[in-house]
Amino acid sequence: MQLPYHKSELYLWPIPRLSLKNAFRAKKVTVFEIENWFHELYPLAFPVLMPSARSSIHIILDYLNTTRASIVCTPPFGSHCILNAVSFIGTPSPIPHDKASATLVSHQWGFTKKINLKSVTIEDSVDSLIIGSSNLFPNDGRFEIISLPKLYGSLVGGIILCQSEKDARLLRLRRDTHSQGSFFHSGMRVMGFLSETAHKYWACLEPLNRHLPEIFLRDIWFKLQNHKSIIDDRRLKIKLIKSYQMQLIENFSDNRLVNIFPIKTKSIPSQIAVADNARHFIRSLDPLKTVEVFPVPLHKDITVNELEKTLDSYVSLSNSSR
């Protein structure tokens, strides 16, 4: 069963697919098993499974006793899901603030950003394929968040990676004892790919969600088994990009495999357009230092041949405009 993807995010991320065959298979999957899988992947971190990255943001801020009077620094040009999750409980601000109660640092598309602020740091690595525990927490953040749909194509799932075992234990307790969400809300996630109205209902209330139906846990577990092939595929695509010797906005890292390759251009020809429009690439926390880019996705649903055609078209266009 493949669900139509929401038009506003066309191609930038993997298409979430819910395999009914795997979702209803006999083996029961628990939250503990998925958290333990990530603990084995990142032995120095303590994972907490949540329904999504946005619900991860909300529960962390709630755990930190965030109130409406609390300033939470958010990335410049932050997405609606970030602003929505933060504004449910605190006051988002794109301006760096030394007196902020928390700061979300966006490692956009897998490119790390460094900060030097005194507030609690939440490393937003939702679309970073991170290789090994030693490459976590680039700002020594207290928490780091990754998104399972953006990395593995699952229907739901966010992982909070904690430096402190105590933080992880108390977050799990808060998730399990302050359970919110329902099968109706989970149904809106599925229906959201068929109905824009259902998608809006799900998106607006998702930060409050704590509900993890077993059918989704089984789907997550099945998708995690593709981890190695996803890593190998991403490395191959990055190697291909490097072979073109294109000018990079930022250098690639071998420790964080980027999910999107940003090309600095305001000219997006229709023959290579794989996104709705140009996006802002964050160079720092300063809103004035963002760059408008053409995003080229590298996720698992983009084939190497498709990527090669996109790069060939861009190079051809660049040469003809000289």
49 forms beta bridges with: 159
Same domain as 145, residue 254: no
Q: In this model, does residue 3 exceed pLDDT 80?
A: no
Same domain as 118, residue 26: yes
Q: Is residue 168 part of a domain?
A: yes
What percent of the chain has a predicted confidence (pLDDT) above 70? Answer: 87
71 forms beta bridges with: 91
Residue with tokens 């409980």: 89
User: Most confidently modeled of 75-84, 87-96, 122-131, 258-267?
Assistant: 122-131
Q: In this model, does residue 152 exceed pLDDT 90?
A: yes
**CATH at residue 35:** 3.40.640.10
Q: Is residue 2 part of a domain?
A: no
Same domain as 18, residue 109: yes
Q: Is residue 292 part of a domain?
A: yes
Q: In this model, does residue 295 exceed pLDDT 90?
A: no
286 or 71: whose pLDDT is higher? 71
- Name the region of 195 (left: φ>0; alpha: ψ -120 to 50; beta: rest): beta
pLDDT (average), residues 197-218: 86
In degrees, to the nearest 5, what angle opens at C-alpha 22 toward C-alphas 29 and 214? Answer: 35
Q: Is residue 75 part of a domain?
A: yes
**C-beta of residue 283 within 8 angstroms of C-beta of residue 290:** yes
d(CA 107, CA 116): 15
User: Most confidently modeled of 25-29, 164-168, 238-242, 281-285?
Assistant: 164-168
The pLDDT value given to residue 25: 65
pLDDT (average), residues 236-252: 88
**Alpha-carbon distances, residue 213 vs 31, 40, 41, 63 (angstroms):** 10, 23, 24, 23
The pLDDT value given to residue 273: 46
**Which of 224, 246, 269 finishes a domain?**
224
Same domain as 220, residue 231: no
Q: Is residue 300 part of a domain?
A: yes
What percent of the chain has a predicted confidence (pLDDT) above 90? Answer: 52
Q: Is 123 helix (H, G, I), strand (E, B) or coil?
A: strand
Residues for the chain: how many in total? 322
pLDDT band for position 1 (cuts 50, 70, 90): very low
Same domain as 231, residue 219: no
297 forms beta bridges with: 260
DSSP character string of 39-81: HHHSTTSEEEEES-HHHHHHHHHHHTT--TT-EEE--TT--HH
The pLDDT value given to residue 322: 53
pLDDT (average), residues 196-209: 84
pLDDT (average), residues 9-35: 78
Q: Is residue 52 part of a domain?
A: yes
Q: Which of 136-145, 201-210, 299-308 has the lowest mean pLDDT?
A: 201-210
Same domain as 277, residue 202: no
Q: In this model, does residue 267 exceed pLDDT 70?
A: no
Same domain as 246, residue 180: no
In degrees, to the nearest 5, what angle opens at C-alpha 212 toward C-alphas 110 and 229? Answer: 40
d(CA 55, CA 76): 20
The pLDDT value given to residue 202: 78
pLDDT tens figures, 171-180: 999 999 876 6
Same domain as 180, residue 51: yes
Residue 144 lies in domain = 7-224
Same domain as 219, residue 248: no
The pLDDT value given to residue 34: 97
Q: In this model, does residue 287 exceed pLDDT 80?
A: no
Q: In this model, does residue 275 exceed pLDDT 60?
A: no
The pLDDT value given to residue 285: 62
The pLDDT value given to residue 23: 64
DSSP-derived secondary structure letter, 300: T
Q: In this model, does residue 193 exceed pLDDT 80?
A: no
**Which of 189, 224, 259 finishes a domain?**
224
Q: In this model, does residue 20 exceed pLDDT 90?
A: no
pLDDT band for position 258 (cuts 50, 70, 90): very high
23 or 153: whose pLDDT is higher? 153
Same domain as 142, residue 45: yes
- Name the region of 247 (left: φ>0; alpha: ψ -120 to 50; beta: rest): beta
The pLDDT value given to residue 166: 98
**Which of 208, 224, 240 finishes a domain?**
224
Q: Is residue 132 part of a domain?
A: yes
The pLDDT value given to residue 8: 39
Q: How many domains does the chain divide into?
A: 2
pLDDT tens figures, 222-234: 999 999 999 999 9
Q: Is residue 56 part of a domain?
A: yes
Q: In this model, does residue 218 exceed pLDDT 80?
A: yes
